[in-house]
Amino acid sequence: MSLLRRFSQRIDRISDSHAPVDTDGARPQSGLFEKEVMELYESVTSPAFTLTDLPALLDAVKNLGGVGLNDRKMLLEKLIIVMSKRKDTEFSKKMQQIVINLLYKDLPHPPSGYLCLPQAPTAQANNVANNSRVKYAFRSADGSNNNPLFPTLGQAGSPYARSVPSTNISPKSALPDPGLVFDTLLKRDKFTEHPGGISALFFAFADLVIHSIFNTNHTDWTINDSSSYLDLSVLYGNSESQVDSVRRKDGSGKLWDDVFADSRLLHMPPASCALLVLLNRNHNFVAERIFNINEGKNFKDPAILTDDEKITQDDEIFHRSRLVNCGYFMNIILGDYVGAILGLVRDQSDWRLDPLMTIRELSHNFAPVGEGNVVSVEFNLLYRWHATLSEQDTAWTESVFNEIFEGNDLSKITIRDFKEAAHKHLIPPKDVKAWTFNKLKRNGDGRFKDEDLAKILHDSTSRRAGAFKAKGIPEVLRVIEIMGIQQSRTWGTCSLNEFRKFLGLKPYSTFKEWNPDPEIHKAAAALYKDIDNLELHVGLQAEEAKKPVPGAGLCPGYTISRAILADAVCLTRGDRFMTVDFTPFNLTAWGYQDCQYDTLDGSYGGLLTKLLFRTLPDYYPRGSAYAHFPFLVPEYMESHLKTVNPALVQKYTWNRPRPLSSTVPVDSFADVKKVLADSSSFLSAYDGRLFTTVKPILAKKLNRDTMRSEEKMRTALDKASVKLTTGTSEVSKHIFSKPEGDVGSYYAKKTQALVKCHTFSKVGTQVRFVDVVKDVINILPIHWISQEIAGLPLKTEANPSGLWYEQITYEKFAEISEYVYLNFEPVHDCHLRESAQNNTGEILEVIKAHIDKIDSWISISDSQNHLAMGEFNSHAFLKKLWQSSGKGSSTYREFASQIFAAVVPTAPLYSQAVATVVNFYLDADKHAAREEIVKLVASKEKDAADKVMGYVYEALRLDPPVAGVYRTAAKDDNLGGIDVKAGQNIFASIYDANRDESVFGKESKVANVANHATHGTVNFGEHGLLTSEFFKSTVPHVLSTIFSLKGLQRGPGQSGSFTRFTEEWHGGQRTHYITQRGHLTPFPDSLVIQYNN
């Protein structure tokens, strides 16, 4: 296997070396041969189907168009396994298209029948100010207009659909008493833990899904007061008045804090409401960011708008934010929820069934999408999952029922008693801002305490749900179940076997086949006499449940298991706003990418993780299993991983999260400077993260005896970490304290060469353009590191046989840099760590091979590097450095890691700083400053470089590339009059420190150029390429080369400015840059300048 992989990798290297330098805009593809070889290897060693799958396949061939599939043979689960294992293959894609088509066509579109004739209601008028000018898609309050051709399809207030017309001739009078049915088949005999480790939080979220699409009218059971769409109506409401009740309508597009529209959730176990509050907060987060980004440049401060303008702006931000939030809801359903249903999260698979995919059929027609939905009574009954109530949620429900029924015997409560109690106790206040749940209290600002919400959610994650089974529903819900049975009979619902036939499943021939437990099937036979009389609701609840196997995680009854997948596909694929109108145009570019799940975030394809990290950051620390696997009990998941993949266990923390200590903000110049300067008293996470990037490589040198002992392993890695820090410091002195050769001249010439190489022209003129950030500044230190220090095989016009493209290499460096230095968001930690480790491994292998060649004279891998590297100075430099600092004290891997750590992580920070300075001085009113910088660099004055750096630091003061950094106090201290305890986190605001009026006076235009020499403007820190000596030796030459261009000015329009926005952060401001793909990044990626040839 490893030999085959190495061989294929070498073939890929040869192919990469012959690839063109100019890709004509295409994103370079590498590793294709290795991918094909490994796919072939996997197909041979682990075929898609085996002999054990033969019975299920034969059953499908024999019965698919006839009597129906025997779902006990688990064909669907086997298909799920095959598709997930072959996830990136055309075979898997084609199979997935077949499965999605099959599931979507399980239900008729539009429905063929209703419980009563729809009264042809008119679609609700669009609730947007100045609607004639609205050019974006948005959801109506009641779900109307989802299908413009049938505008009332799925609208709230419409009748339920009937999917299966029943031909069962058994009269209602022949059916058993509902109370007797409950007492003999459904009443919980004992609590049984869910066999697949599903947590109570899964079913709390299921409550949101179910209540979003089902709300049976209290007076007319044929009417559904909810829309038939996953439009988060539980949060926003199903009517204009409900939507208005949760909106502020102040021009911000936000909701009132921590409110929601559906009062039914107030009477559910509290985790459902807690999740709904987080979705409220997510809406407001999205609305604020859409306003700050202002993609269309049409949003303004509401304070300066007229009332009409304010409403128009509020409508647009609200509706776009709702689409994004519903995108979150949809992808939590498809990623986390369906992922748990199919056991994909448990089995560490990030593959997901994609019901939204575009499918072109053999007829060349597109498979339908966005046709609309109408939920049916059959699926209303299917989602009665009361058997899964955890022990704690059962106790909570009993306490609520005892309160509203005033201590009466719950086993004797009638439907009339329930209705009277509901009218008396369960009607909430009209003002949604006054609602509360679980006896929580709101703060003065109207919000619930984070710690209260976190406790509810942590409790729910740690509690095991109940198993699906007959005799599994708590007695406290007896009246609810009796009402459900009566409802189903009032609706004339089909039997279980009729529903199975409708789904293409083999009908049961005996009660024993339905449930092999003698107590259950004998009781059912006594009650219903004939298996064809078994009514749907009871049959679904008391059916034998699946066992947890690959492809099955939820483990409900077999019929439910098949039906919920069809429903999930229909609800998402049939919704216009989740398919054809789910676009960056409607959601904004940032909003569209923000609600996509990241398969590398450590949660194996989900979005709930992101929601938890975003809305409760102090209660979900990075790496917490409570955030990454919220739908699985942590104890279960940890135990499972220890069995199937022990290496993964150490990547997560499994204990219940403790709240983080409050962060102390520090904003005065003196205090921030103190925090940044005293690295022993105020600890950064940089060294630890830097070691994390190289740890997989350094761990390879550990012997087997060490790796078998956890204690020995930890001791060895601790020593390696200390050695990396000290070794990197020593290497950095050689590189940066006294840079080899004339490094300033190198940077000046390379800047000039890159400008020339990447310039493009305006037709018929001498006007030239160049993306000075993307094509010059960002890759400038990459060239220096590759050619002068580390010997990386960069592909350029001067070295067309190289392996690594400039932009791809920069992206790898940027991921490493962001992980080590700018890793502020816990949700990105896992992805950044994995990417940084992979990128670091590639770089270290090259540097190690060079050192191997230097020390041993023979290295096959380094010979390949030289073929792809060209003639550069790096080998001579590495030889000198190895002989003076590495040989005899470090292994090849250790020394390669030290060189990597010294130069690679800070290269993007260097580019970030230079780009900021260039952008700052491109303004027309700073023309004189540009000329002065060019003049100073060309002069022979002794202090010319210092004067240039005055301009540099002034730009960085007024527009700091990094707004602030975190530190941890190593001992008790006092900062700005605030006592800081050892272990407490500190946020040092560089943004605020650089505006400290006691030091810099009133902010003005480049008025403090001389101040840096006196006061030492606070910067990001002395690391790598940002060390003051190296910075001073190179940056003036880069600036002079760029600012010397004739007729220099910004490029036309938006291309001549950074695509960025600012937002409040710890009382100051921080800047985000937006890439062309809509992602946020701390690094600028484009700035076009114009000059004359």
Annotated binding-site residues for heme b read 386
Q: Are the beta carbons of 537 and 176 closer than 8 angstroms?
A: no
d(CA 624, CA 643): 20
d(CA 865, CA 870): 9
- Non-local (6+) Cβ contacts of 1059 within 8 A are 1073, 1074, 1086
Q: Are the beta carbons of 91 and 85 closer than 8 angstroms?
A: no
- Of 515, 491, 257, the closest CA to residue 376 belongs to 491
- Compute and round to an integer the Cα radius of gyration of the chain: 32
CB atoms within 10 A of CB 871: 9
d(CA 279, CA 260): 9
d(CA 448, CA 264): 19
- Of 123, 136, 124, 127, the closest CA to residue 324 belongs to 136
**What residue numbers does the annotated binding site cover?**
386
Q: Are the beta carbons of 305 and 251 closer than 8 angstroms?
A: yes
Beta bridge mates, 159: 223
869 phi/psi in degrees, rounded to 5: -110, -25
d(CA 298, CA 130): 15
DSSP 8-state assignment for residue 74 = -
- Of 113, 212, 119, 121, the closest CA to residue 492 belongs to 113
Under DSSP, is residue 1068 helix (H, G, I), strand (E, B) or coil? strand
- Of 741, 747, 631, the closest CA to residue 1035 belongs to 747
Alpha-helical runs (H) found in 574-668: 584-587, 589-594, 608-615, 625-628, 634-644, 646-649
- Of 710, 553, 712, the closest CA to residue 647 belongs to 710
- Non-local (6+) Cβ contacts of 286 within 8 A are 321, 324, 325, 591, 594
Q: Are the beta carbons of 1039 and 952 closer than 8 angstroms?
A: yes
Q: How far is CA 795 from the centre of its chain?
A: 33
Alpha-helical runs (H) found in 796-943: 806-821, 826-856, 860-867, 874-881, 892-903, 907-921, 927-938
Greatest alpha-carbon span in the chain: 107
- Of 1068, 1044, 943, 931, the closest CA to residue 996 belongs to 1068
Determine the number of helices (DSSP H) and then strands (DSSP E) in the chain. 46, 17
Beta bridge mates, 1072: 1061
- Of 538, 546, 534, 487, the closest CA to residue 183 belongs to 538
CA atoms within 13 A on the CB side of 303: 1
Task: Please give the single-letter amino acid code of residue 221.
Answer: W
Q: From residue 1072, give the alpha-carbon distance in Å to each of 27, 262, 289, 1090.
A: 24, 36, 11, 24
Task: Please give the single-letter amino acid code of residue 585.
Answer: F
DSSP 8-state assignment for residue 198 = B
DSSP string of 519-531, one letter each residue: HHHHHHHHHHSSG
Q: Which helix (H) or strand (E) holds 291?
A: helix 271-293
Length of the chain (residues): 1093
d(CA 178, CA 1018): 75
